[in-house]
Amino acid sequence: MLKKLNVIAGLALMFLSVNAQAQCISGNCDNGWGKHRDDKGRVYEGHFLNNQKHGKGTLRFTNGDKYEGNWRNGLQNGYGIRFFANGKAEGGTWENGKLTKPDTGIRTVMECLSGDCKNGEGSSRDAKGRVYRGQFKNNAYEGYGILTYPNGDIFKGMFVRGLPNGGGSYFYQNGHTDTGEWEQGKLKGGKIRVWALVVGVAEYPKFSPLTYTTEDAKKIYAFFRSPDGGAVPDNQIKLLLNKEATADNIVLEMGNLFEQADSNDLIIFYYAGHGVEGAFVPYDSDGKKENLLSHAVVNSLLSDSPAKFKFCIADACHSGSYSISYNDYKSNGYKMGEAASRSGVDSRNRIKEFYSSFANVKGGLAVMMSSAAEEVSLEATKLKQGVFSYFFIQGMRGNADENENGIVTVSELHNYISSQVQNFTFKYQNPNIFGDYDKNMPVGLVQKKK
């Protein structure tokens, strides 16, 4: 009997010890990026939303297996690959934890399809489903080859030690092509592209409504689509308004859009809506805990992108509509719409100048917020916009171009917005900027006067 009790007690202790392993190892395992061990000993590292795996992440199993890919509400959803301890792999599109659309190309970490994949010519398929046809040396792509990606992208050119190196062209499935000299997988001095997600929320089912935030977002979107804003193509910019701007949709659209950027590109995230300390308030949030979009999640999604240049702009209003005296503003001699009245010549060349201006800056992430952490952000009836967003557009259109060289840098923009917003609100609202970025990073161009 005593022996039986000891066995039961031992099993109970084992059970408790296993469950005791469930813990957040590091980071933010509620809303942000973190590392977590569950009660089965599995370790997940990636994005969290509402205490669940959500976004990009990696789960390592106790048997040596590993899943890398997308998550939603704690389960595998979207594209992902499970690597087995025996060297095999399976991947494709997952729905609610199940592989529903397998990528038939994923079988082993390295599968030689034909020819000599060690030292010679042949074709191979890797664990991510990419198919290579060309020359090999020491088990790596070496010489001329063609690499085809699962999404339809194709690279044709020279390889060294498995990476594009030398002359080559990358053909994107959306029709875009990058051609030139490549070095260790990156295009040297390649053409920059802009990718932008613009979010505006005014109607809140569980929170007080706002007046101008969706109009702010529409105007920002229209600006980036215009020649003044770089003429961002339709397939590289997304607008989410009200019901579309749920926490889930914002996270997924950021991931889908910014993952397409390469190491030469600029990504932009703009948000207008309610904000609370440490988080934005999407359409489906109660403004307290449910479905908040933490700044840590946004920062992590931006940081995960391979883009060289990253710009986050937030006009997070949480005071409701607010109207202040307009007299002091007019007495300063500023003219509404002054920048908008500038007419342009040869827009195509101006856009080219804007993109080429990124060549000599180091990149990084710049985060520009409409107010300090302890402040509210204001809407102005006279402007029919958020105060910050109004001066953001005015600055981008040219009023922020301090040295009048036709390019608006991130530091010039912040200096202009900060002074204008402070003057307009009598220093009630003070925009700030932070991050690891080059102060000379271009964010806009100015149409030259005739």
- Per residue in 379-436, pLDDT (tens digit) is 566 777 778 888 988 888 889 888 888 788 889 999 999 999 888 888 888 888 877 8
Indicate which CATH number applies to the domain containing 398. 3.40.50.1460
Last residue of a domain, one of 102, 122, 152: 102
What tokens were used for 151?
Answer: 């999404």
Domain endpoint, select from 102, 126, 142: 102
In a domain, 19, yes or no: no
The DSSP 8-state label assigned to residue 192 in this structure reads P
Query: Token pair for residue 370?
Result: 């409409």
**281 and 417 fall within a common domain:** yes
Q: Indicate the pLDDT class of residue 189, thresholds 50, 70 and 90.
A: low
Written as six digits, the tokens of 236 are 């590289």
Tens digits of residue pLDDT in 296-321:
888 888 877 878 788 888 887 532 22
Instruction: Determine which of 12-16, 68-72, 110-114, 142-146 has the lowest per-residue pLDDT on average.
Output: 12-16
Higher pLDDT pick, 348 / 87: 87
| Residue 164, H or E segment | strand 163-171
Residues 228-245 as b/e (b if ≥16 CB within 10 A, e otherwise) read bbbbbeeebbbbbbbebb
Decide if 9 is inside a domain.
no
Residue 278 lies in a domain: yes
Q: Are residues 141 and 253 in the same domain?
A: no
Contact predicate 211/200, CB 8 Å: no
Of 47, 30, 36, 27, whose CA–CA distance to 292 is shortest?
A: 30
pLDDT at 364 over 80: no
Label residues 294-316 b or e (16+ Cβ within 10 Å = b): bbbbbbbbbebbebbbbbbbbbb
| Same domain as 167, residue 208 | no
Domain CATH number, residue 148: 2.20.110.10
Most confident of 99-103, 146-150, 208-212: 146-150
Q: Domain check: are 50 and 34 in the same one?
A: yes
Domain count, the chain: 3
Please indicate, yes or no, whether residues 92 and 148 belong to a single structural domain of this protein: no
Q: Which tens digits make up the pLDDT trace of 204-225?
A: 998 888 888 899 999 999 988 8
Query: pLDDT > 70: what percent of the chain?
Result: 76
Q: Please check whether residue 13 lies inside any domain of the structure.
A: no
pLDDT, tens digit (0-9, with 9 covering 90-100), for 151-165: 788 999 999 888 898
Same domain, 406 and 347: yes
Q: Is residue 258 part of a domain?
A: yes
Is 18 within the bounds of a domain? no
Is residue 296 domain-shared with residue 406, that is, in the same domain? Answer: yes
Higher pLDDT, 270 or 287: 270
Task: Judge whether 247 lies within some domain.
Answer: yes
Pick from 64-78, 178-192, 394-408: least confident: 178-192
Give the domain range for residue 332. 194-445
Task: Point out the domain boundary residue: 170, 187, 204.
Answer: 187
Asked if residue 12 is part of any domain, the answer here is no
**How far is the C-alpha of 37 from the C-alpha of 39, rounded, in Å?**
7
Q: Could you tell me if 182 and 227 lie in one domain?
A: no
Considering the domain architecture, whether residues 144 and 202 belong to the same structural domain is answered as no
Strand order in the sheet with 266-273: 237-241, 194-200, 266-273, 309-316, 364-369, 432-434
Do both 367 and 268 map to the same domain? yes
Q: Which tops the pLDDT comparison, 437 or 107?
A: 437
In a shared domain, residues 232 and 310: yes
Q: Are residues 141 and 274 in the same domain?
A: no
